[in-house]
Chains A and B, each alone.
Chain A
């Protein structure tokens, strides 16, 4: 396996890690609102969040390309602000991946928060915990498994991403060529030795990752149910 493949792997992992981290920051409040809020709009937001699950990745990638390219709506706004258009850059990949893996972060978090239930938070309130305190010392520990699911699923899903990344990234080696694209290139060029090699590494890493995470999951005793 050559240096280009190693770089592609590195880009893939960086992409998955960055996307997961940003999704976690963004989706935790969103999932909280979906689980605990009262608004009628929640159903709408739920549906929108789930869209990436059913949209073909190439469709998503195409629309993102149009939107984020230098001629697209967002691209032009950013250009006007003096920033480069995100398409064909690593940032563009992150934006695309965040949209693509959005439901994999939001849904486990939302379900975990729902399982925590209002009672646990009421108890905490009667024990003098303010709203932020309730979130960090009660809701979060009780939804630890959901958080873990969200992290693992987003990471793995982004790692395996292809269509979106290809469209919006442009398959530029060293910049936007991820391991899955490199793999595809090898297969297209009938370089099966390199393809097997690369996919074996991806598979092994993903498997070890999941193994580590689910082992840790076993140790997290708490579920959402109060005793």
Chain B
């Protein structure tokens, strides 16, 4: 009996499974890899396609794609790199779209340090403040924009009170470990499953910095174009996907 079932499974399996079930290689910026891990099973349920996720820094992934890395889709942390790829002919023209918009948060691991309006910055009741590298991380660039707009950037740097982490995770680690008093981090990093934020925080108003748009493209050398297009479409419009992205602390749409 068991042998017959096994035989049937082997014969009928390909028939019962969705046609063209593909493995899609997705290169994703480190900050979005967590949410993407949660999106993957949803996508698989919807389409049957499986996501194989490679996380890294956008710059490293960009370099690798330029050197022929076998990725199908590239989800960057900014819009520049996808544009560069498209200009170089390494991305499918017209496939770029903003899949998530990041929110900047001023955060301290200790409750009661950061007030809900961010006035702590002006009061100078802190010693060190952490940011991601403004030259390589979009959240770092945004943090610099905020501090510049508030007229604090130059003074803080002169006093050597700005600690720069290599990436947004390091900026978060500085604050989480207490080595700095507060850091500019991504909302997605500190947003809890129940929608609350531990410690104390200030959701920085969008008016103070350029939107952190995270764009994705389909890599030109992909062998799974149809599945890649299906994924991008799903990521763009599927309600379940959008809900998951939002609950991870990102905004969706332009």
Contacts and interface: CB of A to CB of B under 8 A. Distances in A.
Given A171-B55, A171-B56, A172-B25, A187 B64 contact: no
A87 B68 contact: yes
B89 interface: no
A170 B71 contact: yes
A167 B66 CA distance: 12
Contacts, number: 65
A182 B30 CA distance: 12
B237 interface: no
Contacts of A87: 67-69
Given A65-B63, A190-B172, A172 B68 contact: no
A190 B67 contact: no
Nearest to B27: A170
Contacts of B64: 65, 88, 167, 170
Given A65-B64, A171-B54, A173-B54, A189 B34 contact: yes
Interface residues of B, number: 24
A189 B37 contact: yes
A70 B221 CA distance: 12
A178 interface: no
A71 B37 contact: no
B60 interface: yes
Interface string B26-45: 01001101100100000000
A69 B172 contact: no
B33 A188 contact: yes
Contacts of A72: 67
Among A166, A174, A188, the one with the most B-chain Cβ atoms within 10 Å of its Cβ is A188
Interface residues of A, number: 25
A170 B70 contact: yes
A62 interface: yes
Interface in A52-81: 62, 65-66, 69-72, 75
Given A170-B54, A188-B169, A70 B68 contact: yes
B173 to A, nearest CB: 9
A167 B60 contact: yes
Contact of B34 (A69, A71, A88, A191): A191
B55 to A, nearest CB: 5
Contacts of B30: 185, 188-189
B243 interface: no
B54 A177 contact: yes
Contacts of A191: 34
Among B25, B37, B64, B167, the one with the most A-chain Cβ atoms within 10 Å of its Cβ is B64
Nearest to B33: A189
Given A170-B69, A171-B54, 13 more contacts: A69-B68, A72-B67, A88-B64, A88-B69, A166-B56, A167-B63, A170-B27, A171-B55, A172-B25, A172-B52, A173-B53, A174-B52, A177-B54
12 contacts: A69-B67, A69-B68, A75-B68, A87-B69, A166-B60, A167-B63, A170-B27, A170-B69, A172-B25, A177-B54, A189-B37, A191-B34
